Chain A
Amino acid sequence: MKTTAPTRLLMVAALAALSVPALGVAQVPYERILDAASEPGNWLTYSGTYGAHRYSTLDQIDRDNVGRLQPAWIYQARSLQKFEVSPLVVDGVMYITEAPSDATALDLRTGRPIWSYRRSLPQGIVTCCGQVNRGVALLDDQVFIGTVDAHLVALDARTGRVRGDVEVADYELGYSVTVAPLALKDKIIVGISGGEYGIRGFLDAYDPITGERLWRFWTVPGPGEPGHDTWSGDSWERGGAPTWVTGAYDPELDLLYWGTGNPGPDFIGDVRQGDNLYSESLIALDPDTGALRWHFQFLPHDIHDYDSTQVPVLLDAELDGDPRKLVVFPNRNGFYYVLDRVTGEFLVGTPFAKQTWALGLDENGRPIENPETIPSVDGAVVYPDDDGAANWFSPTYSPQTNLIYQNVREKGGVYYLADATYEPGKIYMGASRRVVTGEDPKGFLRALNPLTGALVWEIAVHAPPWAGLMSTAGGLVFSGTMEGDFFAADAQTGDVLWRFQTGGAVYANPITYLSEGRQFVAIAAGNSLVTFALPE
Chain B
Amino acid sequence: MPLQPTLRGDGPDCLPPKRARPQIRWRVVAGCVISIAGWASPFVTAQTADLAQGTRLFESQCGSCHGPLGNGGKGANLAQPRLRRATDDQALSNIIRRGIRGTEMPGSPLTPSQVSSIAAYVKTLGRVAPEDISGDRDRGEAVYAGLDCARCHTLGGRGGIIGPGLDDIGARRSATHLREALLAPEASVPSGFLQLRVVTRDGVALTGIRINEDAFSIQLRDLSGRLHSFWKDELDLIDPQWQRSPMTSYEGRLTVEQTDDLVAYLVALRGDGSE
Contact = CB atoms under 8 A, between A and B. Distances in A.
Interface of A: 79-82, 99, 123-131, 172, 196, 266, 379, 386-387, 413, 416, 418-421, 423-427, 429-435, 437-440, 443, 459-462, 481, 483-485, 487, 496, 499
A434 B60 contact: no
B31 interface: no
12 contacts: A126-B108, A130-B103, A379-B68, A386-B64, A418-B56, A419-B59, A430-B60, A433-B74, A434-B73, A435-B72, A462-B214, A481-B215
A124 B243 CA distance: 45
B110 interface: yes
Nearest to B215: A461
Contacts of A266: 64
Dominant SS among interface residues on chain A: loop
Contacts of B56: 418-419
A443 B216 CA distance: 13
A499 B110 contact: no
Contacts of B215: 443, 459-462, 481, 483, 485, 487
A111 to B, nearest CB: 23
A426 B110 contact: yes
Interface residues of B, number: 35
Interface string B203-241: 000000000011110000000000000000000000010
A81 B69 CA distance: 26
A434 B71 CA distance: 8
Given A419-B56, A432-B63, A426 B71 contact: no
Contacts, number: 113
B109 interface: yes
B102 A462 contact: no
B104 interface: yes
A439 B67 CA distance: 17
A416 B68 contact: yes
Contacts of B71: 434
A460 B71 CA distance: 28
B73 A419 contact: no
A81 B98 contact: no
Given A126-B107, A438-B242, A427 B98 contact: no
A480 B110 CA distance: 38
B69 A426 contact: no
B61 interface: yes
A431 B103 contact: no
Contact of B63 (A172, A431, A462, A484): A431
B231 to A, nearest CB: 10
B12 interface: no
Contact of B60 (A419, A425, A439, A484): A419
Nearest to A423: B109
Given A433-B73, A484-B214, A485-B214, A82 B63 contact: no
Contacts of B102: 79-81, 99
Contacts of B110: 426
B60 A130 contact: no
Contacts of A427: 60-61, 64, 108
Contacts of B104: 81-82, 129-130
Contacts of B108: 126, 425-427
Contacts of A433: 63-65, 67-68, 73-74
A434 B98 contact: no
Contacts of B216: 485, 487, 496, 499
A416 B68 CA distance: 7
B106 interface: yes
Nearest to B194: A440
Contacts of A130: 103-104
Interface string B85-124: 0000000000000100011101111100000000000000
A123 B214 contact: no
A425 B62 CA distance: 14
A422 to B, nearest CB: 11
A433 B243 CA distance: 24
Contact of A432 (B68, B213, B240): B68
A93 to B, nearest CB: 27
A435 B213 CA distance: 19
Contacts of A496: 216
Contacts of A487: 215-216
Contacts of B107: 123-126
Nearest to A445: B215
A84 to B, nearest CB: 12
Contacts of B240: 440
Nearest to A463: B214
Nearest to A196: B64
Contact of B109 (A419, A424, A437, A459): A424
